[in-house]
Amino acid sequence: MIIHPFKPVFDENSKILILGSFPSPASREVNFYFGHKQNRFWRVLSDLFDEKIADDINSKTQFLLNQHIALWDVVYSCEITKAADSKIKNVTVNDFSKIFNKTGNIPVFTLGNTATKLYKKHTGEDSIKLPSTSPANCKLSYNELLKAFSIILNYLK
């Protein structure tokens, strides 16, 4: 059983919550979200907001807070083989009330099939599904991924 190793990023000004599934081994190694060098999450957000994001935890955290984005994962603990979402078993989900008690009822975006299914299954709530930014998701071109993520801008005005 692996327990989620880092805290959510949010404050009372967060207007949306983006949820991944569970940190990959690369993310756990760097102790922050989307730590695999080929994951496109940070590049997408950088291009979407036309702002360079330095490659350190403080800069990424400050970027998210400045853009009013909360970030966490659906899963608190699980059994998982490497980074394969399809291999996640024995799931305990995070307590999202930690965020919602401070932000109010903000829209939830889930990244990929696994995060979307687990969020719905364990909370009974719907989310807005975004494509996974994982290097394993090669179905979408970078421009298609960027276009899909542009929906979040409608919620941040």
CB atoms within 10 A of CB 129: 17
- 144: CATH: 3.40.470.10
**pLDDT value, residue 83:** 63
Q: How far apart are CA 130 and CA 114, in angstroms?
A: 11
What does the alpha-carbon distance between residue 88 and residue 67 come to, in Å, rounded to a whole number? Answer: 31
9 three-state secondary structure = strand
Q: Name residues of the chain where pLDDT drops below 50.
A: none
Domains: count for the chain: 1
Query: Containing domain of residue 144, as a range?
Result: 2-155
Nearest to 131 by CA among 147, 120, 118, 119: 147
